[in-house]
Amino acid sequence: MRTVQAYRFALDLTPGQERGVLAHAGAARVAHNWALARVKAVMEQRAAERSYGVAEELLTPAVGWSLPALRRAWNAAKHNVAPWWRECSKEAFNTGLDALARALKNWSSSRTGKRAGRPVGFPRFKSRRRSTPAVRFTTGTIRVEPDRTHVVLPRLGRLKLHESGRKLARRIDNGTARIMSATVRRDAGRWHVSFCVEVERAERRPTRTDSTIGVDVGITNLAVLSTGETEPNPRHLTAARQRLRHLGRALSRKTGPDRRTGQRPSNRWQRASARLGRAHARVANLRRDSLHKLTTQLCQEHGTIVVEDLNVAGMLRNRRLARHIADAGFGELRRQLTYKTQWNGGRLIVADRWYPSSKTCSGCGAVKTKLALSERTYTCQTCGLTIDRDHNAALNLAALAAQYNTAGSGPVAARRADQKTRQRGQVAVKREPGTATAGQTGTVPPQRAGLPIMCSQECTER
Query: What positions carry a catalytic annotation?
Result: 216, 308, 390
**Amino acid in position 71:** R
Closest CA to 73 of 42, 44, 48: 42
Helices (H) and strands (E) in the chain, counts: 13, 17
What distance in Å separates the CA atoms of residue 256 and residue 267, rounded to the nearest whole number? 9
Asked if 135 and 24 count as a contact pair (C-beta separation under 8 A), the reply is yes
- The DSSP H or E segment spanning 31 is helix 15-51
Dist CA 101 CA 93 (whole Å) = 12
Q: What is d(CA 186, CA 10) in angstroms, rounded to the nearest whole number? A: 10
* DSSP notation for 343-385: HTT-EEEEE-TT--TTTB-TTT--B-S---TT--EEE-TTT--
Residues with Cβ < 8 Å from 139, sequence gap 6 or more? 91, 154
Q: Can you tell me whether residue 443 is helix, strand or coil?
A: strand
Contact call for residues 178 and 197 (beta carbons, < 8 A) = yes
Q: Strands 347-351 and 410-413: what pairing?
A: parallel
**DSSP of 105-146, one letter per residue?**
HHHHHHHHT-S-SSPPPPP-PPPTTTSPPEEEE-SS--EE-T
